[in-house]
Amino acid sequence: MPLDADAVVVTDLVKRFGRFTAVDRISFSVRTGEIFGFLGPNGAGKSTTIRMLCGIISPTSGAGRVAGFDLFTEPERIKQTIGYMSQKFSLYPDLTPFENIRFYLGIYNVPAEQWPERIEWIFSVTRLSAVRDRLTRELPPGWRQRLALGCALLHRPRLLFLDEPTSGVDPITRRHFWEFIRRLTSEGVTVFVTTHYMDEARHCGRVVMINAGRIVASGPPAEIVAHVLPDRPGADLGDAFVALMQREAS
């Protein structure tokens, strides 16, 4: 069973909206326990892909399994199993952090006897105990992001999808964020993250770069750079991406 040993496996995945092809026959796999980066400029098809993987929208064609469940036939099983945090903070601003947490516990159907322990745990990892009864809208963006991440982890998912998790967040919060993500993977959690910040790719074990709905490169970041720009030792992933775009255009 080599297929299901991977957390995510997709082959020839296509999503069309009318005549527009947002995602065009992409194939990749995510290994259990790694941080997998999904990179590309805005409008490249990152969000469409992550929404297909999370069971929010159904693919037009292709095949795929997430956490062992089929993308086409078992989207509800996928939703129950994974954790998902989106770029827009997925919280209710007129509820307190405590109330938001309780909402997610209920939605993820966590048994009631585990609630006190989970609530305790989430407040300790997000360091939000002091504001548990303030309205969420009064919190600074970085704090809200921590709360959103905490809510996505309440049901202890083994596979976490993060859609542009660090956009609009200050550098210090971003560093804390990545430290926390690394800690999660050390406990065996698989993390799939989309970003348009090329520099964040250094936190990822492997990345896939997409543009206009197609995969343009994949592999560990260093290997991609070495492969695309072998004669420029100081180059980074951003340089490699620009070079790839230029080659494709010519």
Partner 1 sequence: MNARRVQAIARKEYYHLIRDFRSLYLAFIIPMLLILLFGYALSLDVDHIPTAVVDHDRTPESRDIIRGLGASVYFDVVAHPPTTAALTDRLDRNQAVLGIVIPPGWSADLKAGRKSALQIVIDGSDPNTAGNTRAFITAFIAQANERRLLDFLNRQGREWIRPPVEGRIRVWFNEDLESRNFIVPGIIAVIIMIVGALLTSMVIAREYENGTMETLRALPVGAGEFFLGKATPYFFITLVDVLVAILMGQLLFGVVMKASFWLMILASAVYILVALSIGLLISVKTKSQLVANQLAVLVTYLPSLLLSDFVFPQQNMPVVLKAVSRLVPATYYIDILNGLYLRDLSFLQLWPSVLVLVVMAALLSSLNIRALKKEGL
- The residues binding partner 1 (CB under 8 A) are 51, 54-57, 76, 79-80, 84, 86, 88, 90-95, 99, 102-109, 112
Locate 99 and state its tokens.
Answer: 């109330």
Q: How far is the CB of 120 from partner 1 (least distance, A)?
A: 19
Residue 244 CB, shortest distance to partner 1, in Å, is: 31
Nearest distance from C-beta of residue 126 to partner 1, angstroms? 17
With 0-12 CB in 10 A as exposed, 13-18 as middle and 19+ as buried, what is 195? buried
- Cβ proximity to partner 1, 3 vs 107, nearer residue: 107
- Of 92 and 202, which CB lies nearer to partner 1 in the complex structure? 92
- How many whole angstroms separate alpha carbon 64 and alpha carbon 114? 33
What minimum distance in Å lies between the beta carbon of 100 and partner 1?
A: 8
Least distance (Å) between residue 62 CB and partner 1: 19
User: Of 128 and 198, which CB lies nearer to partner 1 in the complex structure?
Assistant: 128
Q: How far apart are CA 51 and CA 84, in angstroms?
A: 10
**How far apart, in Å, are the Cα atoms of 136 and each of 45, 97, 100, 143, 170?**
31, 6, 8, 9, 18
d(CA 127, CA 42): 32
Rounded to whole angstroms, how far apart are CA atoms 167 and 88? 9
**What is the closest distance, in whole angstroms, from the C-beta atom of residue 144 to partner 1 in the complex?**
13
Across the beta sheet with 83-85, the strand order is: 83-85, 159-163, 190-195, 35-39, 206-211, 214-219
Closer to partner 1 by CB, 37 or 55: give it: 55
CA atoms lying within 13 Å on the CB side of residue 227: 11
Nearer to partner 1, 82 or 198 (CB): 82
| Burial per residue of 226-248, b for 16 or more beta-carbon CB atoms within 10 angstroms, e otherwise | eebbeeeeebbbeebbeebeeee
**Comparison of 69 and 143: residue with beta carbon closer to partner 1:** 69
Number of helices followed by number of strands (H, E) in the chain: 9, 10
Q: How far is the CB of 171 from partner 1 (least distance, A)?
A: 25
Strands 190-195 and 159-163, bridge-based pairing:
parallel
Residue number with CB closer to partner 1 (1 or 112): 112
CA-to-CA distance for 190 and 237, rounded, in angstroms? Answer: 22
